[in-house]
Amino acid sequence: MQWNNDIDLSERQFTARLIIQRSLLRGWRVAGFDSNPAIIFIYPHPGSKPVKVFSALPPNTTYISAKIARDKHITSELLSQGGIAVPAELLLTEKITISDEKLTDFIDKHTKIVVKPLDAAHGKGITMGVNNLAKLHKAIIYASSNSPSKKVLIQEELRGHDIRIVTLGYEFLESMSRIPPHVIGDGQHTIRELIVELNKHEDRGETYKSRLAKISIDKAEAFLEPGELDRIASSDEEVQVIGISNIGTGGTRENTKKTVPEFLINMAIEAAKIMELPVCGVDFIVAKKPLPNSTPEELQAKVIEVNSCPSLTHYEDLNSDDQLLAIDKYLDYIESIN
């Protein structure tokens, strides 16, 4: 067990690092563990029992709620029953098989589909842009290999902006737009070379331990059309190189707290309540970039995922006043439930 300033912050992801640092500034005792860096014991008061957190997941999150949140199919069913729009989907398991005819009909209806593991996280095992049966079979094998339960979801692919809203104690905390990994062409270098150069930036390193993750060449090659990786991108051309916008795949973030419309915030809070998650990250795909006066009809928002343990880092500057305020609100919350 490590205590207070002896905790090795380099082994912690940024959310855990900031929680530990801000707790110590309050004069709280903190304990960490070598075997699992995400587990933190926080002692807000002398002699008090510790508040036990797993990264941002607080102790009042029930096991069943966290378990359900990891099952994307149950999540979709619960949200849909609660009146929240979700993508159309098919569930594929070892016992639930789907004919090629039905799969083809699903592709034809939605043009492009996304295939993902039922119970993985951080964008693992996801294939986007699937538009034919051969690609679908390959994507199913990839998704299944990344699913502990060997179960796969096949969903309509939604085009638009990826927005995450984080709620805390069933109240709005933060919002950000998650931007897929991309490069900007210069008319001289191939897309592959641009990715390699981008990955050299000091901000890019190990996933969730560096401010930005490196972009995987293998994942870019799988996403792009054959030969595209070695095409010279024209000057100022923006090329998306991975289909998903997860920060862990090398995507970037843009804070949208001041521009997210009220109705979208209310949808996120309602989703958190349905899922019974006191800390909750609700991921939306919306048709266009949200503005404060955007209407439901304009955005056509659908929830694609719910996270019981979302990252609490929502700003490019992780030491900004706004970022630290979000962490302080989290600490106020866990102190209130102690």
- Sheet with 152-156: list strands edge to edge: 89-92, 152-156, 113-117, 127-130
pLDDT (0 to 100) of residue 206: 76
Q: Token pair for residue 18?
A: 């900031």
Q: Token pair for residue 220?
A: 């870019």
Q: Model pTM?
A: 0.85
Q: In the 8-state DSSP scheme, what is residue 249?
A: G
pLDDT (0 to 100) of residue 291: 94
Q: Tell me phi and psi for residue 11, to 5 degrees.
A: -90, 0
The number of angstroms, rounded, from the C-alpha of 335 to the middle of its chain's C-alpha atoms is: 26
CA distances from 106 to 133, 152, 163 (A): 10, 15, 26
What average pLDDT values come out for the chain (338 residues) when binned by 10 residues? 89 92 96 94 90 95 95 94 96 87 93 88 80 91 90 91 96 92 91 92 76 85 86 91 76 89 98 98 94 96 95 90 97 92
pLDDT (0 to 100) of residue 152: 93
Other beta carbons within 10 Å of 301: 24
pLDDT (0 to 100) of residue 208: 63
Q: How far apart are CA 204 and CA 189, in angstroms?
A: 20
